[in-house]
Each structure stands twice: as structure tokens, then as C-alpha cells.
Amino acid sequence: MPSAPMDLNGSGSVPDNSGDGLLGAIIRLNLSVSHVLEQIAERAGLTMADYLVLGVIRGGKAGRSAPTAIADILGRTTGGMTLTLDRLVAAGLVVRSPDPDDGRRVVVELTPQGLDLALQVNAELHAWETGLVLPGDSSEVMQLIEALNAAMHSRSH
């Protein structure tokens, strides 16, 4: 697979950062993708953190999740997650309710408005992704990403 730099922000120019090594390339990719995600979420009236929380809830069992589980998945503190959920509840995007399996616990789930907004942002992200010109086919790129992810995971343990 060619190692040509990718222009993720659409500026048409890609600086030569080939001397930065693998970690530098991963950091630049992360920053570029985060910037796109922030722009798309912002157009929907969300922060990136809000969108990620909506996504975790949407992907949860039966479309609900416990606040502590969301905090764990996103690497956030429970206090910070409470503030985010308070904001999403006030915006009418999420509701809190007793856990149907354990009434001592609280779960959160998306309102119809929250689901619509999460799906809207998802659709925009997929539209952006479709516009990427990748070296090779997408399955080759996914294999590389999975191999890098596995290498990073094995190194962090």
C-alpha cells in the first residue's frame, strides 16, 4: 500500500511530516479526525463529548446505558459524566430512569430527539468518510488500522 500522506481537512495541501515517525503520524491523524468530528457535531448544536455520549448510549444494550459505564468507555470521570448528562437531559436529548433490571441503579436512554440528532451526525460523518480518497481499498486500510490498534493495545498493557 502506498504511504502517500492523506489530506483529511480538504485544504488540498499536505505538509511533508515523514520524519515525525509513526507516533507523529497517528497524532496528526487523530487531530485531523477530531477536528472534523468537532465541526460536524458543532453544526448539530453538540460538543464532540456530547455526541460521543449519545453514540455510546445508542450502542448500548436496548439503547440504554448506565452513567458509570459511559464514563468508563469514554475515559471520563463520573463527575464529568454527570455534568454532561445533566446538559443532555436539559436539552431534551436524554432521559434518566430506574434500571429495569435493578431499581437501585439509574440508566440513561436517548429521547426520540436525541436519537434523531445522533443519527444525523452519524450520517454526516459517513458522508465525510465516503469522500475520502484512500490508498488501496477500504479493507486494506481497516486491516492496517486494526494492526496498529492491536500494537498500541499490547504496548499499553
pLDDT digits (tens, 9 = 90+) for 29-78: 889 999 999 999 999 999 999 999 999 999 998 889 999 999 999 999 99
Q: How confident is the model at residue 4 (pLDDT cuts 50, 70, 90)?
A: very low
Tell me, what's the pLDDT at 7? 53
Per the domain annotation, does 1 fall within a domain?
A: no
**Structural domains of the chain, count:** 1
Per the domain annotation, does 115 fall within a domain?
A: yes
Per the domain annotation, does 8 fall within a domain?
A: no
Residue 10 has pLDDT above 80, yes or no: no
CATH number at residue 73: 1.10.10.10
Per the domain annotation, does 50 fall within a domain?
A: yes
Establish how many alpha carbons lie within 13 A of residue 151's alpha carbon, considering only the half-sphere containing its beta carbon: 9
Collect all residues with Cβ–Cβ distance below 8 Å to 42 and sequence separation of at least 6. Answer: none
pLDDT, tens only, 123-155: 999 999 888 887 777 788 888 888 888 888 887
Per the domain annotation, does 102 fall within a domain?
A: yes
> Which residue segment(s) compose the domain that 46 sits in?
22-126
Tell me, what's the pLDDT at 16? 61
Per the domain annotation, does 66 fall within a domain?
A: yes
Per the domain annotation, does 96 fall within a domain?
A: yes
